[in-house]
């Protein structure tokens, strides 16, 4: 990519973490807003460069309306820079923290169905996100109801062989990851279950204050009961994503065909169809042929 950091004016810091600093920037030539993730490349420790390369490889493969759009990356003065789309509203975490009460089921499912579609695209490219949480789910659009999954700093290709190391935030880690066993795409499904639980309760299914405590809770206790007002299909959906045995959790292919989610997914698809270029950008993997399958939906395995 033919770009330099001097082409952008830094507006503010959006976040800081182990893997770098995320800035809101404005391109000088047209004043358009973007996000830049900057990371120092330690020439002694190769792991930082390797992590950046893996993130860029994953982002290059992903083009979907529910995934933050990657615009390019470059290296300059021992720093890496990844240029991405700016989601104009807030994060799902911000939304939940601002609210005094949890999301209504219908609103939660509309947002969650977009998370499901985004994860479906990620998994279809044999990529494991490994850090799905409300903080990494951005909201954009005029009403703040369009989901953009971001932060692929911990993403990993599942084609590389067994993965065993812990990664991400432990509140959203699957049991197999917490215990450092080998894991696969199903650990993202667990994270999705925690996210949906949090959306409709503003609480975590396994409340804990440290890694040892949450590991003990997850292995020895069921999730905290959902409120009595929660519909039976919602309880069923969350329960299946939070099954302790990864093999018993649904695949994301099953989630997009879940009869409970189908009406919301169709609604998302119809809304995206009214947006300029979205259908064109994802013609192959987000086209009408997917939704024809909803005529004969496949149910979860018990």
Q: pLDDT by residue for the chain (302 residues), tens digit each?
A: 566 888 999 999 998 876 789 999 999 999 999 999 998 887 545 566 777 888 899 999 999 999 999 999 998 888 899 999 998 888 999 999 999 999 999 999 999 999 999 999 999 999 999 999 999 999 998 888 999 999 998 888 887 666 767 777 889 999 998 887 888 999 999 999 999 999 999 999 999 988 899 999 999 999 999 999 999 999 999 999 999 999 999 999 999 999 999 999 999 988 876 543 433 444 444 444 444 443 333 343 33
The binding site comprises 37
How far apart are the C-alpha atoms of 252 and 117, rounded to whole Å?
8
Which single residue is written with the structure tokens 């909201």?
A: 139
Q: How distant, in Å, are the alpha carbons of 8, 132, 160, 222 from that of 11?
A: 9, 26, 38, 45
How far apart are the C-alpha atoms of 86 and 148, rounded to whole Å?
10
Q: Which of 168, 132, 162, 163 has the alpha carbon at shortest distance from 148?
A: 132
Domains, the chain, in order of start with CATH, read 7-85 (3.30.200.20), 90-270 (1.10.510.10)
Element spanning 118, H or E: helix 105-124
How far apart are the C-alpha atoms of 13 and 15, rounded to whole Å?
6
Active-site residue (options: 7, 131, 151, 253): 131
The binding site for ATP comprises 37
- Asked about 131 being catalytic, the answer comes back as yes
């Amino acid at each position: 990519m033919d770009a330099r950091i001097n082409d952008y004016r830094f507006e503010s810091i959006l976040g800081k973490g182990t893997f770098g600093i995320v800035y809101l920037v404005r391109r000088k030539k047209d004043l358009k807003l973007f996000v830049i993730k900057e990371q120092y490349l330690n020439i002694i420790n190769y792991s930082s460069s390797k992590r950046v390369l893996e993130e860029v490889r994953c982002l290059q493969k992903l083009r979907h309306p529910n995934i933050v759009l990657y615009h390019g990356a470059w290296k300059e003065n021992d720093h890496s820079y990844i240029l991405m789309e700016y989601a104009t509203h807030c994060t799902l975490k911000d939304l939940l923290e601002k609210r005094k009460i949890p999301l209504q089921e219908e609103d939660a499912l509309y947002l969650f169905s977009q998370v499901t579609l985004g994860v479906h695209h990620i998994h279809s490219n044999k990529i494991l996100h490994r850090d799905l949480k409300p903080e990494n789910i951005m909201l954009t659009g005029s009403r703040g109801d369009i989901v953009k999954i971001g932060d692929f700093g911990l993403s990993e290709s599942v084609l590389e062989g067994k993965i065993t190391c812990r990664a991400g935030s432990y509140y959203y880690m699957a049991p197999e990851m917490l215990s450092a066993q080998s894991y696969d795409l199903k650990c993202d499904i667990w994270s999705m279950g925690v996210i949906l639980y949090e959306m409709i309760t503003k609480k975590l299914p396994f409340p804990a204050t440290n890694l040892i405590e949450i590991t003990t809770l997850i292995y020895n206790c069921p999730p905290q009961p959902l409120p009595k007002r929660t519909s039976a299909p919602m309880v069923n959906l969350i329960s299946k994503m939070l099954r302790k045995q990864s093999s018993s959790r649904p695949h994301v292919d099953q989630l997009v065909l879940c009869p409970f989610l189908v009406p919301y997914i169709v609604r998302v698809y119809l809304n995206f169809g009214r947006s300029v270029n979205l259908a064109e950008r994802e013609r192959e993997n987000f086209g009408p042929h997917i939704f024809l399958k909803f005529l004969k939906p496949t149910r979860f395995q018990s």
